[in-house]
Amino acid sequence: MSEATFPDIYRADDLRYSDEGDHPAMPYRRSGASGLKLPAITLGLWHNFGSDRPLQTQREILRHAFDRGVTHFDLANNYGPVPGAAEENFGRIMASDFRPYRDELLISSKAGWDMQAGPYGFGGSRKYLVASLDASLKRMGLDYVDIFYHHRPDPETPLEETIGALDHIVRSGRALYVGVSSYSPERTREAQAIAKDLGTPLLIHQPSYSMFNRWTEEELLSTCADQGMGVIAFSALAQGLLTNKYLHGVPENSRLGSHKMDSGFLTDETLEAIRALNDIAAKRGQTLAQMAIAWVLRRPEVTSALIGASSVKQLDDSLDAVKNLEFTDAELAEIDRYATDRGINQWAGATASTE
C-alpha cells in the first residue's frame, strides 16, 4: 500500500523524549545485563491491529504512542485476525509514517504458536522459526527485527534446535536480539546455557504477569535476573480485568462481552477484588489500569510492561501510569489482600509442560 492511503504527512513530536511536553517523559530501563534499554511501557499489537479494525485508528494509536516516547512495538506472526494481519497493517503504517524513525524504534516479533496448517506452522523447529521470521519481515517491509522470540515452549523439539535457530537468526542479520516467552524457570536456565555457549545470549523473557497472575514471582523473575535477562510482562492488565471496564457489568464490546475471553475469569469474588483495587488506585490518584501497570513495574527485574490499546484515549490512560511508579509499604500490603492468583493464566499449560 502506498503513502497515498494516508494523505497527511507524519512528523514525530520533537518533545517525545522530554518532560517539557504535555506528558511526563517515558522512563527507559536496561534489559537484564545487556546494553539495550526498553521503554517502561511497550505497546503490543496482539489485539486491535487486525483486519477487523480501521487502519486509520491503528495509525493514530501508533503515532501517539511514539509521540509519548513508546519506542517499542511488539508483534507476532499470528496476531490478527487474520493471522499475519497485524504485521501487514504495521508494515503499511511503518512505510507511511515511521520509516524515517527506524533507528529509534524497537520492533519485535515471535513464532511458536499456531500460524498455518500443516507440519511447519507451529512449534520450535528451525524450519518453522526461520521461515516464519522471513515471512514476518516481508509483511512488515523490514530488513530485520530488533527482538525475535520463541513464542512458547515446545517439548517435542530439542531445545538445542530451537535455541540454535535463534542463534542463526541473529548471525544471519534477521534480528539483533532474541528471547523466549512463557518458558518455565527450569527451561529458561537450560535455554540460556545453550544460548551463551553458542555466543548469542537470550536478551529477554516475555511471561504473563499481573496482580491476578503472579506465577512469575515464585522463581522466574529471580531466574531471569540471575541469567542476565530482562523481563517484559504481557497481560499486565489481566486482559482488561484490571481496568474500570467491568466495574458496572460486562460491556458488549469488551473481551468478555464479545466472548474473546473465558467468562469464568470474572467471578463475583474477582469482581469484588477489582472494585477494592479500584478504590486503592483512587486514593493514589490513579486509575486502576495505571496502578496495575505501576505495580508490575515495581519489581526491579521487570524491564517493561506490555499493554494493548483500542483508542488513543485508552492509550493515554495507560501511559500516564509513569506519573506515579512508587508504592508505600502500606499500599503494597493493602493491594496484596486482593492481588492474588485468580485462575486466569491460560498459558500455564504450555509453561508447565516443559518441566
Strand partners, 224: none
**pLDDT tens, position by position, 235-293:** 999 989 999 988 876 655 554 544 454 556 788 899 999 999 999 999 999 999 999 99
Q: Quick one: what percent of the chain has pLDDT higher than 70?
A: 91
- Buried (b) or exposed (e) across 172-193, using 16+ Cβ within 10 A? eebbbbbbbbbbbbebbbbbbe
- CA dist., res. 82 & res. 209, Å (int): 26
Q: Give residue 7's pLDDT.
A: 64
- CA dist., res. 238 & res. 305, Å (int): 12
Inform me whether the pLDDT recorded for 1 exceeds 50: no
Inform me whether the pLDDT recorded for 352 exceeds 80: no
DSSP string computed for 14-38:
TTTT-TTSSSPPPPEEE-TTSS-EE
Q: Give residue 3's pLDDT.
A: 42
> How far out from the chain centre does Cα 136 lie?
17
**pLDDT tens, position by position, 35-84:** 999 999 999 999 999 999 999 999 999 999 999 999 999 999 999 999 99
> How far out from the chain centre does Cα 338 lie?
24
Output the pTM of the full model.
0.92
- CA dist., res. 44 & res. 181, Å (int): 14
CATH number of 25-239+290-325: 3.20.20.100
Going from N- to C-terminal start, the domains of the chain cover 25-239+290-325
DSSP string computed for 161-209:
HHHHHHHHHHHTTSEEEEEEES--HHHHHHHHHHHHHHT----EEE-B-
